[in-house]
């Protein structure tokens, strides 16, 4: 039988196998055939971790805690880990919505974590605009007078939003959105500066303890006086690939209170709207349901009315979150107001 001739590389590896244990040699072989820069860009597998809940995380839901811990892991994967019992709280299975307590011990199973990818450079004009939009701040909150046209966070084709810009301006701070505003809506946006503050705000919002008021310009003369609209909304619908909200008996509870502030004959009415629930597009859909759509609303509005408003200089949707207020559970009142942006105030002046 013809003897196969070993290549020099094979002989070298055999010699190394004689000198080192198998595990070390195999790791060396794998590494020797891998480009270093490629290896660093590939996903890595974390080992089992045991994480103790500190004061900032106490009271947080398990799913939210894990998503902050495993930022590059898809949400669906996080929920699957919990459902399969791979995540344990104090040695026991847990549900995603379970609230954590101080000193709870969380077992986090091995997961593939994507290596951080190179992010596009944050546009300097966006950073400057967000910095100039800070309305007030204290040790617990930052309040942004959000400009219209900027998303509150990246996603759906948008690389950066308000929160990404703020994190770039305040590196190292654990900033989180307390609530959201539509991209085309301006006004008061609350940012929590600590996880414990975020949980307090979310609890207040769930319990309806936060007073949020908006100013909106509606089509026609509002003859309903102070009107409470309680119409359920379906927020899970899609049309042409875009999210669409519809008034429907099978939808989620949605309550808005409309109060007229200023009439412009039969043309339009400026109203203040108090949100008692926080559904997607709630004011816009309730206003359209009442027969008085919001000026400049291209999704639920009136095309002829929007064209008439454009002639008066309206270049965006006339919806502005002008005030937020609540009581801190530990005592003290919080209240903030954001004046109408100049582009909306100018439309009111022209109509007056």
Catalytic residues: 182
Residue 321 has which token pair? 């979150």
Which of 141, 143, 140, 160 has the alpha carbon at shortest distance from 151? Answer: 160
Distance CA 345, CA 351 (A): 10
Distance (Å, rounded) from C-alpha 343 to C-alpha 265? 21
Nearest to 341 by CA among 97, 146, 68: 146
Helices first, then strands: H and E counts in the chain: 11, 18
Would you give the DSSP letter of residue 20?
Answer: S
Quick one: angle between helices 62-69 and 75-83, nearest 10? Answer: 130
First to last CA, the chain: 104
Q: Which two tokens stand for residue 5?
A: 């001739």
> In sequence order, what DSSP letters do the residues of 174-232 get, joined into one string?
--EESS---TT-EEEEEEESSHHHHHHHHHHHHTT--EEEEEEEEES---S-SEEEE--
Quote the tokens at residue 4: 């196969």
- DSSP H or E run through 289: helix 282-289
Contact 179, 205 (CB under 8 A): yes
């Amino acid at each position: 039988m013809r003897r196969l001739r070993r290549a020099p590389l094979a002989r070298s590896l055999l010699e190394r196998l004689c000198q080192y244990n198998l595990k070390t040699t195999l790791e060396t072989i794998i590494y020797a055939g891998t480009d270093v820069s490629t290896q660093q860009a590939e996903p890595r597998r974390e080992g089992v971790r045991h994480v103790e809940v500190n004061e900032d995380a106490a009271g947080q839901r398990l799913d939210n805690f894990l998503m902050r811990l495993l930022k590059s892991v898809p949400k669906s994967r996080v929920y699957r880990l919990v459902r399969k019992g791979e995540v344990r709280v104090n040695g026991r299975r847990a549900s995603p919505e379970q609230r954590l307590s101080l000193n709870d011990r969380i077992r986090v199973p091995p997961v593939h974590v994507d290596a951080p990818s190179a992010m596009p450079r944050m546009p300097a004009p966006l950073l400057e605009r967000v910095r100039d939009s800070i309305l007030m701040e204290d040790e617990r909150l930052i309040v942004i007078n959000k400009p219209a046209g900027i998303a509150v966070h990246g996603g759906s084709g948008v690389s950066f939003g308000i929160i990404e810009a703020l994190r770039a301006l305040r590196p190292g701070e654990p900033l989180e959105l307390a609530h959201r505003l539509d991209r085309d809506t301006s006004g008061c946006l609350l940012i929590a500066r600590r996880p414990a503050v975020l949980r307090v705000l979310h609890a207040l919002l769930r319990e309806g303890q936060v007073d949020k008021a908006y100013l909106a310009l509606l089509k026609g003369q509002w003859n309903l006086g102070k009107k409470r609209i309680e119409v359920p909304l379906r927020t899970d619908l899609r049309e042409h690939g875009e999210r669409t909200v519809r008034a429907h008996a099978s939808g989620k509870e949605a309550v808005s209170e409309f109060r007229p502030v200023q009439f412009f004959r039969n043309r339009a009415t400026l109203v203040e709207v108090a949100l008692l629930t926080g559904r997607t597009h709630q004011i816009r859909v309730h206003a359209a349901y009442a027969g008085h759509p919001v000026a400049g609303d291209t999704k639920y509005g009136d095309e002829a009315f929007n064209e008439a408003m454009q002639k008066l200089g309206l270049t965006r949707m006339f919806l502005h979150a002008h005030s937020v207020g609540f009581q801190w559970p530990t005592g003290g009142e919080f209240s903030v107001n954001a004046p109408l942006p100049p582009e909306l105030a100018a439309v009111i002046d022209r109509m007056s």
